[in-house]
Structure 1
Amino acid sequence: MEIDEIKEIDKTVKSWLRESRDNVLRKIDTRLTVNTKTSRKDLVTNIDKQNEQFLVSKIRDFDPESRILGEEGFGDKVVSTEGQVWIVDPIDGTMNFVKQRNHFAIMIALYVDGEGVLGYILDVIGNRLLSGGPALGVFDNGHPLAEVVDTPLSNGLIGLSGPLVLHNTFNMVDIAQKSLGMRIYGSAGIDIISVLRGELVGYISYLKPWDFGAGRILCDVAGLEMTTIDGKQLGVLSSEPVLLATRNAHRDILTIVSQ
C-alpha cells in the first residue's frame, strides 16, 4: 500500500473517530439498555451496538471489498487474514462505561494480508488518540509519541487482569510483587495507551482480536513486545492471554511465568 493511500485512510479514520466520539458522548447520560453476553460481568449496551453499526457502515462505504471483524457481530465472519481486514471494538471497557461513564476506549485496526497497517485507540473521555502504523510512526494526539523507556519490571507499574491475579494464573501474584505496584483499569485500550505513554511497564490479560488488534500495531512500531503469555508470536485472530511490555520487563515477566 502506497504512503499517499495510507495517509488518506488515516485522515478518513480519524474523522470517523471524531464523529463516533461525539455520538457516544451525546448518548452517555441517556438510559442504557444493558445485556449480558457470556456472564454477568461481560456486558453489551445499545451504545456498543449502535457505535459498531456506525463504524461498520463507514468502513463498508469507504472500503467495500474489505472484511470487518467487530466485537458485537455486525461485521463479517473473519477466519483468515488474507486481503484487507478491519478490526473494530466500538466500546472497549463496557463495564466501565456502564458503571463509571469513564475509562473506556474505541479501537480500530487495519491489517493487509496479516500485516498491521494502521491502528487507533481513542480514550473517549480523556479525548486522547494514539494512532499510526509502520509507515507513519506512532502519534499521541497528533504529536509524535515520545520514545518508550525500556524500564524493567522492578522499576515500574504493571497493568494486570483482576481474574488472573485472583487465581494466581501464570504466577501473576509474583509478577505484581516484583513490580512497583499493579493497576487494574478494566479496559485493554486504556492499559495499552498507558504502556505506550510509559505510565506502565506492561499489561497482561486474556484478550480477543478486537482488544489487541490496534495496540499490536502501535506497540510493534513503538518497540514494545506484545506476545502470548509464554512469549510466542501473537496471531491476529487469536484469543488468549497476552503479554505486552517493554523489552526488559517482557524478559523479566517471562522468567516468572516459566517458574
Structure 2
Amino acid sequence: MRRDMEVSELEQIDKVVKGWLRESRDNVLRKIDTRLTVNTKTSRRDLVTNIDKENEKFLVAKIREFEPEAKILGEEGFGDKIESTKGRVWIVDPIDGTMNFVKQRNHFAIMIALYQDGQGELGYVLDVIGNRLLSGGPQLGVFDNGVALAPVEDTPLANGLIGLSGPMVLNNDFNMVDIAEKSLGMRIYGSAGIDIISVLRGELVGYISYLKPWDFGAGKILAETVGLKMTTIDGQPLGMLSSTAVLLATRNAHRDILTIVNKD
C-alpha cells in the first residue's frame, strides 16, 4: 500500500535536492569548455559524454548517501535495474539534450524525479545555461525559480506554438505534419527538459516526442500538478517506466491533437 509522504518530509527533501542541483550545475559549468569525450550509444545522433557520466555518478552518490534503501533509475546506467514501481524510486537524467550540449553548449537540462509506489512526489527540471529551475509536486505546488508558477492558460492547438520531435515530423509519424500545420508554428528544441519548461510556462501549448522515463519522469509530476495532460500519443495513461511516444499539452490542445492523431 502506498504511504503518502508528509509535507514536512517533502519540504526537507526539496531543500536537499535543490542543493544537489546547484552543485551539479556548478560542476557542469566548470567543465563545459573543456575537451569532451564523446561516444555514441544507439546511433550517431544518440550521444553520451564524460560529463553525462560524471554528473550521473555525482547525483546517484548523493541519493545513495541521502536514502540508501531507495532505488535509482539513471539514463547512463549508474543506478539500479528497475523492474517495479514499488517503493521509493528516483529517476535521474544527468544531461538532457546531449547533442545540444556537445554542439551548442546550450539548450540542455538536468532532471530529477522522486516517485513513491508509482506516484509522482517531486520533480525538478533545470535549464542549466538559463539557470531556470521548475520544481515541486502535488503536495507542494510548482515553482519557477522559487516563485509559484503562474496558472497555465488552457490554449487550443490553433492558438499556440507546439514543440515537436524533428524525426517524427520528417516521418509524419501520427500525422505530425498536420499537427504542426494546425498550430501557429512548430519549435524543435532537441531537449525534452527545455520543451517541458516551455509548456509549463505557457510558451508552448504542447510537446510530442519519443521519450524514456528519465526524459519525462520529472516533467510528468510537474505537468499533472498544474493541470496539464501527459499521456501516450494515443491518449492512454503513461506509466512511470514507459518508453513510448509521449504527448504533453494543455487540455484543449491535447483534445485537438488526439483528433488529428486518430483521423483516418
Match for residue 121 of structure 1 among 125, 129, 140: 125
In structure 2, the partner of 1:75 is 79
Deviations 1:22-69 (A, max 9, x none): 000000000000000000000000000000000000000000010000
Alignment of 1:220-231 (within 5 A): 220-231=224-235
Give the whole-Å Cα distance in 2 for the aligned partners of 1:134 and 1:198: 19
**CA deviation after TM superposition for structure 1 residue 156, in Å:** 0.1
1:53 aligns to 2:57 (yes or no): yes
Letter of the aligned partner of 1:105 in structure 2?
A
**CA deviation after TM superposition for structure 1 residue 214, in Å:** 0.0
Give the whole-Å Cα distance in 2 for the aligned partners of 1:2 and 1:171: 44
1:211 aligns to 2:207 (yes or no): no
Aligned residues: 259
Match for residue 38 of structure 1 among 39, 42, 58: 42
**CA deviation after TM superposition for structure 1 residue 10, in Å:** 0.2
Give the whole-Å Cα distance in 1 for the aligned partners of 2:207 and 2:133: 19
1:65 aligns to 2:69 (yes or no): yes
1:160 aligns to 2:138 (yes or no): no
**CA deviation after TM superposition for structure 1 residue 157, in Å:** 0.1
In structure 2, the partner of 1:85 is 89
Letter of the aligned partner of 1:193 in structure 2?
I
Give the whole-Å Cα distance in 1 for the aligned partners of 2:128 and 2:208: 22
In structure 1, the partner of 2:195 is 191
Query: Mind listing any 5+ residue stretches in structure 2 that lack a counterpart?
Result: none
Considering only aligned residues, what root-mean-square deviation do their CA atoms show, in Å?
Answer: 0.2
Give the whole-Å Cα distance in 1 for the aligned partners of 2:167 and 2:226: 28
Match for residue 151 of structure 2 among 129, 147, 153: 147
Query: Mind listing any 5+ residue stretches in structure 1 that lack a counterpart?
Result: none
Give the whole-Å Cα distance in 2 for the aligned partners of 1:118 and 1:133: 5
SS in 1 for 2:36: coil
Letter of the aligned partner of 2:123 in structure 1?
G
SS in 1 for 2:163: strand
Give the whole-Å Cα distance in 2 for the aligned partners of 1:105 and 1:63: 24
SS in 1 for 2:123: strand
1:243 aligns to 2:260 (yes or no): no
Aligned-residue sequence identity (percent) comes to 82
**CA deviation after TM superposition for structure 1 residue 8, in Å:** 0.3
In structure 2, the partner of 1:15 is 19
**CA deviation after TM superposition for structure 1 residue 150, in Å:** 0.1
Scaled by the length of structure 2, the TM-score of the pair is 0.98
